[in-house]
Chains A and B, each alone.
Chain A
């Protein structure tokens, strides 16, 4: 019954405001109205909640030990904490590099989940090993062809290249 009364009150306020605006009432009065304040409050809360969610949602692997997996109380063991921090950072480094290469978030996450701590450490310390392999023919060939084209272009522009 009380809920019905509250909803009715809201509807009444809404139509009252609409009527005021229609009749050329003072706009500031409408803005200062109780109903408008309620809406503003709800909108502000919604914006706060939405912006609180991080834009990047890559799955940085935090830890694989049972304590973390079960959500148990984290021990004060410094070594364990350091390992966890290291793993998170390494995971982030590898994710960033894979994203730069052109992998989507899902593709990165799938791979990270399949890697061990040792793999992550290795890839993070050897970032060049993350590059794809397979560009043998097109890569070297392309470089030589580009150089040839540049040289021909320079020749056409009457520029000289002297090799001593």
Chain B
């Protein structure tokens, strides 16, 4: 066998990058996109996530949604590790523009500048943006 596949999913593995651009609340994109990430992990794909623009707010610590009658789903990002989704990236320019630092985030991430983000996208098979 030239290629090794995971025991559970007996098929090809592609590099999937999910690009999260939107704030967690206000629109449904972040919540529904997270569902796609979890399914891609169930298919044992090589999954990465990047947070850019207002998407960086998705992983900010201490979110409190009590006042807006929305489900606080930020804990799901912490659970991604359990699905072997461990490659999380944040664009530096997006953090800087919002006065945020790595310490404000609820998961471990790798910080990339926009050139690094461009290289990351180049290395993917499938890029899904929302």
Chains A and B are bound partners: no
Q: Which residues of B contact A (CB under 8 A)?
A: none
Q: Which residues of A contact B (CB under 8 A)?
A: none
